Each structure stands twice: as C-alpha cells, then as structure tokens.
Structure 1
Amino acid sequence: MNISIAGGGAFGTALANALIKENSITIHTRNKQVIAEINTSRKNPSYFPNKILSKAIKATDDLQSISNADYLFLCIPSNAIIDFMKQLQLKPECVVINGAKGFGQKGKFIPDAIAEIIPNRLASLKGPSFANEFIFEIPTSFTIATSDISDFQNIKSLFRSNLAVFDYTDDIRGVELLSILKNIYAIIVGIVDAYYNSSNVRFLVFTKALNEIKRILEIFSVKSDTIFRYAGIGDFGLTSLNDLSRNRTLGLLIGKGFFGQNPGNPIVLEGVNAIDHIYGKLTYSQHSELPYFSQLHNLFNNRINVKDFVNYVIYN
C-alpha cells in the first residue's frame, strides 16, 4: 500500500514508524531539515534524536506524490488541514484518516469540513497515545471511527500488530468531539491538582468531569457510549492524569498562579481554543447542566478567580 502521512512532527513520525514495512510510507513536510535527516540518516532528531526509523519511511515536500496514496493520514495542526487538502488531487479510492485533534476552520469538525471539498471515504484515528512512547514501540491503543467497518479492518492491517491495538466505532463526530473535550477537562483536573495533589480529590473531579463529557456528547447528538472507547475514557485519562500532557500541565500552571485567569499564554492548546466555541453552541439551561465547563469559561473570562473555581468544582 502507498501510505502518505501529512506532518513530520512527533505524532506523524511515530505513526509512520508503526506501519508495517511492506508498505510504501512517505512523510510529507515543509521542513527541509526533517526531510534531509529522514532520507539520509533515518532519524527525525528534532523530535526523537536517538531513534532509528523504519527503512520503509521516506520524506518529501512534493504534494504531487500524495496523488498515488491509498491512505492519507492527517497529522498536521487542525486549523491547517482544509487549506492543505485543497492543494491535493487524491485518487477516488484513497481513504483519508484524521489524526489531528481540535476543530477545523470556522469551528467545524474536521471530517465534516473535508467532506465538503472531496468525496473520499473518511475516518478518524484517536486514542491515548503519547508519541514519545509510541515511537519506542510501546503498545499503544487507538479508536478508528469510520462509517464502513471494512475500512476499519483495512486501516488496522496497515500497522504492526505488536505496536498498535484498535477498537471500532462508526461515530466519527463523537470521536472528533471527544478529542476536543478531553483537552478542556484535563485543564480542570490540572487546576484542582495544583491545589490539592490528592488522589481522593483527583478522582472526585475526574468522575464528575467524565459525566459532563458524556452529557455534552448527548447534547451534540452523538453516541454517548463512544466515551467507553479508547478515544473516550482512555484518552481523557491519559490527558488529565499524566504530567506529560500539555493540557494538564497548563491546568497545573494556572492553579499555581503562573498564568492567572487569562488563557492568552504562550502555549497554544486545543482545549483553550475550543472553549468559547462550544460554550456558544450551548443554551442557557445547558450551561447549568455543565457546571465544570461553565465555570472554566467564567475563569478564562475573568469572572471568577482560581480559588473560587476550585472550591466550586469540588463542592458543587
């Protein structure tokens, strides 16, 4: 199979390295240094200086080569995907798999936005997957969401079975929404952990947060049981409870007072960027059903301080 991976960052590189070597694997990136390093030394030292990559991987900045792809994995920032896709000429049978997390342009789910410009079959790939573990061949889990279960089986078969474990759902929009919500609620868990650093409090908040995430899935008319897939509770657990998570770390820093109440800090994060968009889609009565989400929105809009936020989260 001809497999193209858009993005030569940490996740795109780790994903490429997990594909079976019988595939023809091409990483597409604009970074000339990354291209040269992968093609000459089989390394991407910007992210993994000590890892030798699979011999099957090559890198290029030639978008024309994507026209031969049987599968295209999108591992670039979510807000760049539509402009990227408009530059491509894909063959009709190419399956496009979104690995990016976050809303696309104009607040649309990325597969929905892609479907407006190309007729190709689409899938979503999400799960509890730190790239710096995946690259060193630690078993890692993903949910593949696609309307066609045969595409699930085919995408699964592209990967080395000792590295990647998969579950399936046809709920593409639910998986996309979960990939956004887990970042938002990880910030909340981080803020509270900065105050208490207590297992009791941590799982008090985790449980309430999980119930709110489930309620938002219902509000957006996607399948609430998608929360039980790897892309649901698995990815939320990884993101909210592990200090390697950028969103949890942002919460810890806010809780310690480094960023105050304003999310306009130098860390660009999917969770922060999505809060206003989701809040605007909720009715007033739905705000009251989602106290954690609503209070985080208030915190980021300077209507409440961190101490009051933490007390509200725990005691309400």
Structure 2
Amino acid sequence: MHHHEKVAVIGAGSWGTTLADLLSKRGHQVTLWAYEPELVEEMRTTRENSMFLPGIKLHEKLSFTNELAEAYRGCTMVLCVVPSQLVRRVMGGSVSLIPTDAVFVSASKGIEVDTLDTVSQIYQEILPPELYARFAALSGPSFAREVALEMPTAVAAAAESEEIARRVQEAFTTSFFRVYRNDDVTGVELGGAIKNVIAIAAGISDGLGFGCNTRAALITRGLAEMTRMGIAMGAQASTFAGLAGMGDLVLTCTGDLSRNRSVGIQIGQGRKLSEILGEMRMVAEGVKTTESAYNLARKLKVEMPIIEKMYQMLYEDKPAREAVLELMTRNLKAE
C-alpha cells in the first residue's frame, strides 16, 4: 500500500540526519547530502553522525553523498534541512538539478536576515514554479534525538495543495512519528521561526534565576506576539494554537535539549553572546531570527515587545535583568 519515495535529504545536522534515518527505516530509498566530506566518509564507514547525532546507529540502507547532483538524481522527493540563513546559498545554484516532478519539503526554521523572507518565500524565488507548486513545510515540536530514539512525536506538514500535504504525511508517518496536514504554510513556518527567539528569552529568564511563573508568562505572551505577526502576514490564528505554534513553543522554551534555550540560559548567567556561539557546533536559529523578526515586526508595524527586548539584549547589549523588568512594567493593558 505504502508509496515508496526516492528521497534526497539535504543537510546532515541532527534533524536532517534523524529524518533521513526515519525515512530510510520507513522503507524509502534515501540519500543524505552533507556539506563536510569528512562527515560523509564517517557516516558511510561507522553508520554514525558523531558530530551532530552521537550514539545513534543509522539505518543500514541509508546512503550518503557530498555531491548535490548525486543526491537529486532520480529523486521523487527533496527534503531540505539546512539552517535557514544558508538555504539560499546551498540551494540557489543547484535547483536546476532537481527533477521537476519531485515534491519539495522544507524543514528549516527561520527568517532570512538580509531579505526578511520566510523560508517558503526564499523557495518561491529560487525554485521553478512547477516545483514550488509542490512545496511543503514540515514543522512541530520535535527534538531530533527523541525522534531518533523513536519517542512518540507529532508534527505538521503544511502545503497549499492538499494532495502534496497528504503525500508528505504518507511518506513520513510511522508508529512513533505522526504527521498532521495543514494548509497554512505561512503560519506553520512562522511558528517554527519565532518560537526560537522566545526560547532564548525563556532561557534568559531561567539563567537569571526567575521561575516557572516567568517562563509561563513568556510562553503565553510569546504566542500572542507570534500570532499577531502571523495574522499580519495572512496566516490563520488557529495555526498558532497547534503543533507548529504552541506545540513547538512549549517544547523549545522548556526542553533541556533546546539549543536556543541553552543560549538564553548562558546569557542570563552573564556570558557574552559571541563567546557562547564560538563554542557551539550546532546552529541556534533563534539568534539570527531575533534580528530578522525584529526588523520584520517594524516593517509590518506589529507590536512585539518580547522580540524587541530580545533584539536589544542580543544586538544592543541591554542588560538581561533590566530587559525582563521592562517587559513586566510596560504600560498596563487588557489581555
């Protein structure tokens, strides 16, 4: 019954590697592309990605390559999981190699700093129209390691075409990974991008020694900001109450595996951002998205006080404690 895809997975960070492994376990023919030749070699010989997903044995049928052309050859589905700020650079030159009848799935979470484009807007510019017509965004509360360990997880697949959303849903769904269909691409993407910024804020609050009350307030008001921005961009409010909005927000603001939250914790403890980032192997998407979200909010004239304070902390050296207190003592208003 199951339709078997030939999938090119672009990007071998923890999430790309996990999804490639999942799709391979699911019976698809999968090739994982990694930027680093030495990582390709390692995964081939040891069946492990020690850099980004240590301790997880990768499926024996999974293939690896350093050549985009090889990954794309004959594929029926492309899954791109590179950091959002690198999407244009990695994908821009190579999209002509993708079979035009393939389904294109994006799992990158962020907003491009220079253009303020969401990831789907980047793809709208770089993909041929017939390929963009088969675009879907995959997002939701999903720490890679937990999915790799087969812990039950639910995510959303958003596409304008229900047929494409169904095909993605069918391709990815397993006994432990449940995919819900959605038609609000903008909302699903925005939830995945903005929640990383709020997660840094939640981390800062924890790092300052504030408690669960503070975190709950940040999550709830963060959701309100995210929803306001979404509505201004034509998304549906209900999306933000779902997996890609509230679901991912709760996960990233509370979970110990969240890179964005751990960056925040260290800032709250008084460390400098440049130092923290200098020690990190993985990308904390929220750092760059803080800048793009702040500028996008100004452009759309949407009030986003948490995003604004985050920008002041990360980019204008505002002391964290002062920023949180300013958030709490803003002009009084109705919820």
Structure 2 length-normalised TM: 0.85
- 1:313 aligns to what? 327
CA contact (8 A) 2:205 2:211 kept: no
> Using the alignment, how far apart are the partners of 2:292 and 2:98 within structure 1?
31
**Structure 2, unaligned runs of 5 or more:** 331-335
CA deviations 1:56-98 (Å, max 9, x no partner) are 2111123223031100000112222223322241222101111
CA contact (8 A) 2:198 2:218 kept: no
Q: 2:106 aligns with which of 90, 95, 98?
A: 98
Structural mapping, 1:27-176, within 5 Å: 27-65=32-70, 66-85=72-91, 86-88=93-95, 89-104=97-112, 106-117=115-126, 118-119=128-129, 120=131, 121-176=134-189
Write the letter of the residue equivalent to 1:187.
I
Percent identity, aligned pairs only, is 26
Q: 1:280 aligns with which of 291, 295, 306?
A: 295
Q: 1:199 aligns with which of 212, 229, 236?
A: 212
> Using the alignment, how far apart are the partners of 2:86 and 2:277 within structure 1?
21
> Using the alignment, how far apart are the partners of 1:48 and 1:296 within structure 2?
29
CA deviations 1:169-199 (Å, max 9, x no partner) are 1111222222211011111112222234422
> Using the alignment, how far apart are the partners of 1:253 and 1:239 within structure 2?
15
Give the paired residue count. 314
Aligned CA distance change for structure 1 residues 315 and 284 (closer, same or farther; 3 Å): farther
Compare 164-173 and 300-309 and name the one that shifted more.
300-309
Q: 1:271 aligns with which of 278, 286, 300?
A: 286
- 2:272 aligns to what? 259
> Using the alignment, how far apart are the partners of 2:63 and 2:310 within structure 1?
43
CA contact (8 A) 2:186 2:233 kept: no
Report how far residue 283 of structure 1 moved: 4.4
Report how far residue 295 of structure 1 moved: 2.3
**Structure 1, unaligned runs of 5 or more:** none
CA deviations 1:11-52 (Å, max 9, x no partner) are 111101112443111101232333233333432233344322
Q: 1:7 aligns with which of 3, 7, 11?
A: 11
- 2:263 aligns to what? 250
CA deviations 1:102-154 (Å, max 9, x no partner) are 12463312222222232201111111111111111112221101011121221
Aligned CA distance change for structure 1 residues 166 and 297 (closer, same or farther; 3 Å): same
Aligned CA distance change for structure 1 residues 61 and 300 (closer, same or farther; 3 Å): closer
- 1:297 aligns to what? 311
- 2:333 aligns to what? none
Structure 1 length-normalised TM: 0.90
CA contact (8 A) 2:194 2:293 kept: no
Report how far residue 303 of structure 1 moved: 7.0
- 1:217 aligns to what? 230
Q: Secondary structure at the match of 2:256?
A: coil
> Using the alignment, how far apart are the partners of 1:127 and 1:174 within structure 2?
12
Q: Secondary structure at the match of 1:106?
A: coil
Q: Secondary structure at the match of 2:31?
A: strand
